Amino acid sequence: MSSVEESRTPRTAPRSGPPPRPAPHALLSGRTAVVTAAAGTGIGGATARRFLEEGAAVVLGDAHERRLRATVTALAGEFGAGRVAGTPCDVTDEGQVAALLDLARARHGPLDVLVNNAGLGGTAELADMTDEQWHRVLDTTLNGTFRCTRAALRRMRADGTGGVVVNNASVIGWRAQRGQAHYAAAKAGVMALTRCAAVEAAAYGVRVNAVAPSLAAHPHLARVTTPGLLAELAEREAFGRAAEPWEVANVIVFLASDYSSYMTGETVSVSSQRA
């Protein structure tokens, strides 16, 4: 080994935790984005923050009104009230979906980016699953993505200014897991919806892609599962930890930006799970 090779510092050294957050580069400067299920500390909230850091104006939707108000107030205080707005939005309600997108237009003009982050999970063995459990997960996770995408594409097509849709899928759309038949079916459906929408929307300059995270740690997730299960899931990851929500949001930023201008119909795995 040469002296140069011996002195070279590895570009990526082993870490016990996440790397430092990247500096912003104005990748979405001047864009208008809508993010669903964007209140709180999960992937949606991290995406809203990363979009703001990259220069976008952001309109947040969420079914949890109190949490939404708190998130909008906090982000507006940091990034300016002119760049942040929000309205309650249950993605199972077509009227609320329309109101969310109309708010974005009223505030900032034509929509540039839609991030479909809203989803609902649960655990039930298929033989014991009720129709209500099945329909509740599918209606939010898959049908909600359909409703929001349809509303956005209609507006983007009419405006003729192009745009981007990024859907939040999951690695569980590819991989089997006990008790997750409804969620897995919904996320696999989101992937298929992404591919078909992309083929149709390309004709009017709109790109449609998806991310498929494995495990992103945030307080809400910790409240709906057990520490033991979270530790087991983290152990399956190659890095031995869950992703930070902003690490998933970084990939969403990439897909929303011009750096992915020739990508459409793709689902990008944001996972360190061993093959």
d(CA 241, CA 267): 22
Active site members: 183
DSSP of 182-232: HHHHHHHHHHHHHHHHHHHHGGGTEEEEEEEES-B--HHHHHHS-HHHHHH
- Cβ neighbours of residue 94 under 8 Å, at least 6 residues apart? 147, 151
d(CA 3, CA 7): 6
Tokens found for residue 77:
């205080």
* Helices within the chain (DSSP H only): 3-7, 43-53, 65-79, 94-108, 131-138, 144-159, 181-201, 219-224, 227-236, 245-256
